[in-house]
């Protein structure tokens, strides 16, 4: 195999490794977001004062 092909194969290996690393990062971020969403209580999303409700009616 000539040098040019070997360089391309090495670069492909490096890119695959980087892609796996990015997939791990994305999976970790998705897990964090999913945990955060499960911790949010539906009542936390409601306005806390009647004045806020009157403003929108």
Q: Tens digit of pLDDT for each residue in 17-27?
A: 999 999 999 99
Q: What is the mean pLDDT of residues 5-18?
A: 96
Q: What is the mean pLDDT of residues 23-36?
A: 93
Q: What per-residue confidence (pLDDT) applies to 7?
A: 94
User: Measured between alpha carbons, how far is 49 from 57 in angstroms, rounded to an integer?
Assistant: 13
Q: Which of 3-7, 21-25, 26-30, 46-50 has the lowest mean pLDDT?
A: 46-50
Name the DSSP class of 4: H
The structure's pTM equals: 0.57
Asked whether residue 15 carries a pLDDT value surpassing 90, the answer given is yes
């Amino acid at each position: 195999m000539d040098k040019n092909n070997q360089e391309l194969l090495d670069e492909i290996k490096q890119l695959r490794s980087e892609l796996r690393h990015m997939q791990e990062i994305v999976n970790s971020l998705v897990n964090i977001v999913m945990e955060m969403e499960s911790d949010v209580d539906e009542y936390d999303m409601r306005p806390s004062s009647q004045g806020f409700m009157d403003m929108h009616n």
